[in-house]
Structure 1
Amino acid sequence: MLTKTMRTGTGAPGGVPRGRHGWQRRIEELDPVRDHEEIHRITAGYEFPWDYQRSLEFALFRTYCVPTISELLQRTGEFEKRPQKRYDDTALLMAELVEHGYDSERGVESLRVVNRMHGKYDIDNDDMLYVLTTFIYEPIDWIDRFGWRRLTPNERLACFHFYRQVGVRMGIRNIPETFEDFYRFKAEYERTHFRYTDDNHRVGTYTLTLFCSWFPAALRPLVAMGVYALLDPMMLAAFGFPAAPRWLQNASRRALRIRARFVRLLPPRRESKAARDPRNRTYPGYPVGYRPRDLGADNDKQRGARRRAA
């Protein structure tokens, strides 16, 4: 059962624990099936908020290596015309589910927006399953490599059960029932579906340009090379991107590991950052003054009117 503070998203579940590994000890006291929402909120909002944000950026990037997915995104024109807005919509809607729970008022509202956006298109169920896998396994892989500690078995299973339940509420069919089976689906799907197409290249380029736009113009060529350095060979081939020099690959990974050693020295986080990103560009100040229903709306004036009426 979720604690009151977790359901409202106003504070740390059960209070802030003592010591750098206090949250980890709290997680070990919980059940990864029954308490998966609480565990995942602690992991993503308190222990690894920066890592989760970065890893999910690359998780979404990874889905654009699938021709049927990139073709749909290219056809809608969203990534060409409004890449920042689509990025912010996706990131904030998923963060709402983590922060408040998928069956909370804000969680139900967020899922309603997600389902409405997806309902406009005829999307293959296996494509939906694959996108769901990236939200589970990409952060796990990232944190194992670059996090200030490795994830515990409870955290891994909680992440699986959390997104499995999100998938059920999105109407995704045939979701595997075990962590291992879903991972096998992901690996086989990538093996059979990742291949180069022009749409992959276009959508990947729009996304890379978006990432670079967050930095001063003088740094953007280096940022692009840094992104190439963190993409695996399958992704580089599917996008038609060049491989970064070996020295830059090593330097990028070394920099992330140095950051992890620094973060390891910090005290436990006192407030969740799951749904609080000060760098969000589309919805300044979010979540203050916004509801999940404001996300993904096509008409900015209508969104503003709804916010004023709330």
Structure 2
Amino acid sequence: MKTYCVPSISKLLDKTGEFRDHPQKRYDDTSIIVVEMSKWGYDSELGRLAIERMNAIHRRFKIANEDFLYVLSTFIYDPIRWNAQFGWRLMCEQEKLASFYFWREVGKRMHIQNIPATYEELERYNLDYEREHFRYSDTNRRVGEATRGLFLSWFPWWMRSPLKPVVHALLDDTMLDAFGFEHPPQLLRTAVANILKLRGLSLRFFPPRQQPHFFIDSPIRSYPNGYEIDELGPPENR
């Protein structure tokens, strides 16, 4: 959601119409590409195919290097920040650095220029970019509303309206302002945060997972019969 708070990014996403017309497929396609790289590695056969497909999709559009670099940084720092707030244990330093070096190598294979050499430098870029570029635009709102609608579509119809402010409670004030979304009551924000923290605490008492489980290991809504990596993404004419 953070990447949609940037008008130059949301303008392009809005123009393709994928968020408006095929939000579930857009979500699934992005998840598949990211997970193929994460599960098998960027230099595996499937990892390389995923990066090649991603690059082929991106080549159709004019995207600024600074925007590419920011989106790359969100894959590193936002999961780490989420973990720090709501995880069942904190990531250790090696795990944080592993994420940085993994995505830095992915960025190189995406031909992103001027990727900072250290974890700290890229984090500063991430924070400075958000301060400079997060601001309201109509395209932010349209893409944000489409994404919010996708989240809510996963629940029964009668739950969707009550859950809308819960989605807003997960977003910080700068994001809400960039989307033009209504700010939720502070009581709701606190309740949602406490529920997530309680979930993290309770997971400490669960038996450890014996094997990894990735997004692509379960049935995918848009591809009940499976998928081919080279068929992911919007049609060629978009």
Bin of the TM-score, shorter chain as denominator length: over 0.9
Q: Provide Cα deviations, 1:108-153, integer angstroms capped at 9, x if missing partner.
A: 0000110011010010000000000110000000011001001100
Q: Is the 8 A contact 2:87 2:200 kept in 1?
A: yes
* Corresponding residue number in structure 2 for 1:72: 12
* Corresponding residue number in structure 1 for 2:148: 208
| Separation in 1, partners of 2:29, 2:233 | 6
Match of 1:131 among 63, 71, 90: 71
Which residue identity does 1:292 align to in structure 2? I
- How many residue pairs match? The answer is 236
Per the TM alignment, residue 277 of structure 1 is displaced from its structure 2 partner at its CA by 5.3
Q: Kindly indicate whether residue 53 of structure 2 is the aligned counterpart of residue 110 of structure 1.
A: no
Q: Provide Cα deviations, 1:243-287, integer angstroms capped at 9, x if missing partner.
A: 1111111111111111112211112212211243536311226xx
* Corresponding residue number in structure 1 for 2:229: 292
Q: Is the 8 A contact 1:228 1:236 kept in 2?
A: yes
Which deviates the most, 187-196 or 268-277?
268-277
Which deviates the most, 193-202 or 255-264?
255-264
| Separation in 1, partners of 2:128, 2:151 | 29
* Corresponding residue number in structure 2 for 1:58: none
- CA separation of 1:291 and 1:272: change in aligned 2, threshold 3 A: farther
* Corresponding residue number in structure 2 for 1:101: 41
Q: Provide Cα deviations, 1:176-231, integer angstroms capped at 9, x if missing partner.
A: 00000001001111111111011111111111111110101111122211110010
Match of 1:146 among 79, 86, 99: 86
SS at structure 2 position matched to 1:64: helix
Q: Is the 8 A contact 1:106 1:291 kept in 2?
A: no
Amino-acid identity (%): 48
* Corresponding residue number in structure 1 for 2:25: 85
* Corresponding residue number in structure 2 for 1:306: none
Which residue identity does 2:235 align to in structure 1? D
The 5 A counterparts of 1:197-236 are 197-236=137-176
Q: Provide Cα deviations, 1:55-111, integer angstroms capped at 9, x if missing partner.
A: xxxxxx110000000000111111111111111000111011110000000000000
Q: Is the 8 A contact 2:18 2:234 kept in 1?
A: no
- CA separation of 1:174 and 1:195: change in aligned 2, threshold 3 A: same
RMSD of aligned residue pairs (Cα, Å) = 1.4
- CA separation of 1:216 and 1:275: change in aligned 2, threshold 3 A: closer
* Corresponding residue number in structure 1 for 2:184: 244
Which deviates the most, 247-256 or 289-298?
289-298
* Corresponding residue number in structure 1 for 2:97: 157
Q: Is the 8 A contact 1:96 1:292 kept in 2?
A: no
The 5 A counterparts of 1:250-261 are 250-261=190-201
Q: Is the 8 A contact 1:99 1:275 kept in 2?
A: no
Q: Is the 8 A contact 2:35 2:215 kept in 1?
A: yes
Q: Kindly indicate whether residue 209 of structure 2 is the aligned counterpart of residue 272 of structure 1.
A: no
* Corresponding residue number in structure 1 for 2:112: 172
| Separation in 1, partners of 2:217, 2:84 | 23
| Separation in 1, partners of 2:153, 2:220 | 13
Per the TM alignment, residue 297 of structure 1 is displaced from its structure 2 partner at its CA by 6.1
Which residue identity does 1:184 align to in structure 2? R
| Separation in 1, partners of 2:131, 2:68 | 16
SS at structure 1 position matched to 2:184: coil
